[in-house]
């Protein structure tokens, strides 16, 4: 590979413009979408900050910012991280509360993290909840879910699939949380659907949506933050689809930069 004008390598790779911004050069077989993703990663300040801080992903800052706004990690002693790979959220919890019991589960492999019990398993597999419960050694203070379904490019379908994961996370939270505990889950633009919001309100004293600064401005990603778990409640039969609620019926919070 030879160097082109100004020392920028030709034939693919990345170069640095005069303004210090990394520019990805197009390779013959590299798709434009791949170039855009790589260039965005190379120039993303959160990616750079995560690397400098030793965090495994920029997503670590999302939890840090949510904690700053909602005080999620104060006094927690037991935390569950659903869909935890690659482990950035676990790192934030461990850094804030090094003595806490942290249990992570994901179908994808997660490299070991000091102080974190990791299960490489589908959360829907038989026995997953029992594994988590045994590892916790008591009720959880906080259940986290940064899970998102693989997208198919159809907005409504993608949102419905992600809502299914939020419902799964909520079911785990209801079973594992202590009274007063909290649940955080990823949703997309439009927030949790009305039936899910109604169920969250039944189980938690406060339900809000937030978009932390670390979520890219162009992303439809938001988070639902439910605090003040009321304890187990006998479920309403089949969660009637006419349940009231929705984005217009909850407090909307956007964290400040």
The candidate with the shortest Cα–Cα distance to 76, out of 59, 106, 98, is 98
Phi, psi for residue 107 in degrees, rounded to 5: -70, -30
Are 104 and 110 in contact by the 8 Å Cβ rule? The answer is yes
Q: Which residues are catalytic?
A: 186
Report the alpha-carbon distance of residue 247 to residue 229 in Å, rounded.
20
């Amino acid at each position: 590979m030879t160097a082109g004008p100004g020392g920028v390598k030709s034939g693919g790779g990345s170069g640095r413009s005069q303004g210090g911004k990394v520019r990805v050069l197009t390779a013959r077989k590299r798709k434009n979408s791949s170039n855009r993703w790589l260039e965005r990663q190379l120039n993303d300040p959160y990616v750079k900050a995560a690397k400098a801080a030793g965090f495994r992903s920029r997503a670590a800052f999302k939890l840090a910012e949510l904690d700053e706004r909602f005080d999620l990690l104060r006094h927690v002693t037991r935390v569950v991280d659903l869909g935890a790979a690659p482990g950035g959220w676990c790192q934030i919890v461990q850094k804030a509360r090094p003595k806490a019991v942290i249990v992570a589960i994901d179908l994808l492999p997660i490299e070991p993290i000091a102080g974190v019990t990791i299960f490489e398993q589908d959360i829907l597999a038989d026995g997953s909840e029992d594994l988590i419960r045994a590892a916790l050694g008591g009720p959880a203070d906080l259940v986290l879910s940064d899970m998102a379904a693989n997208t198919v490019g159809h907005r409504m379908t993608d949102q419905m699939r992600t809502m299914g994961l939020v419902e799964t996370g909520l079911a785990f939270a209801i079973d594992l949380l202590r009274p007063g505990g909290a649940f955080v889950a990823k949703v997309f633009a439009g927030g949790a659907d009305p039936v899910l919001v109604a169920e969250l309100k039944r189980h938690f004293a406060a339900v809000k949506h937030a978009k932390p600064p670390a979520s890219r401005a162009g992303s439809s990603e938001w988070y639902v933050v439910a605090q003040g778990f009321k304890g187990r409640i006998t479920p309403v039969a089949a969660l009637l689809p006419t349940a009231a609620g929705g984005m217009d019926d909850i407090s909307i919070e956007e964290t400040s930069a």
